[in-house]
Amino acid sequence: MTWSVEIDQGQCLGSGMCAGLAPDLFRPEGASAEPVRKEIAADERALDAADQCPALAIVVRDGRHTVGPRR
């Protein structure tokens, strides 16, 4: 199963929380963050990062369905 990961650069606060949780999935980029890869194998840590993002800037999708954040 493959998921797509996106970070809304307009919403991202650059807290670094996602990169701290999963540095192989997210990296700081200037004043915000970005996914290391746009497509990833299903990974619970990506959902955890989306759930814990203070700006709710991370979206994880399984095809056309949004699976994260889980709120």
Series of mean pLDDT values for 10-residue runs along the chain (71 residues)? 96 96 96 97 98 97 96 75
**Every domain of the chain and the residues it spans:** 2-63
Token digits of residue 30: 């200037």
Q: Which pLDDT score is estimated for 61?
A: 98
Give yes or no for a contact between 68 and 58, defined as CB atoms under 8 angstroms apart: yes
Q: Which pLDDT score is estimated for 18?
A: 97
| pTM, entire model | 0.93
Q: Which pLDDT score is estimated for 1?
A: 85
Cα-only R_g, the chain: 11
Beta strands in the chain (DSSP E): 2-7, 26-29, 32-35, 39-41, 58-62, 65-68
CATH class of the domain at 2-63: alpha beta
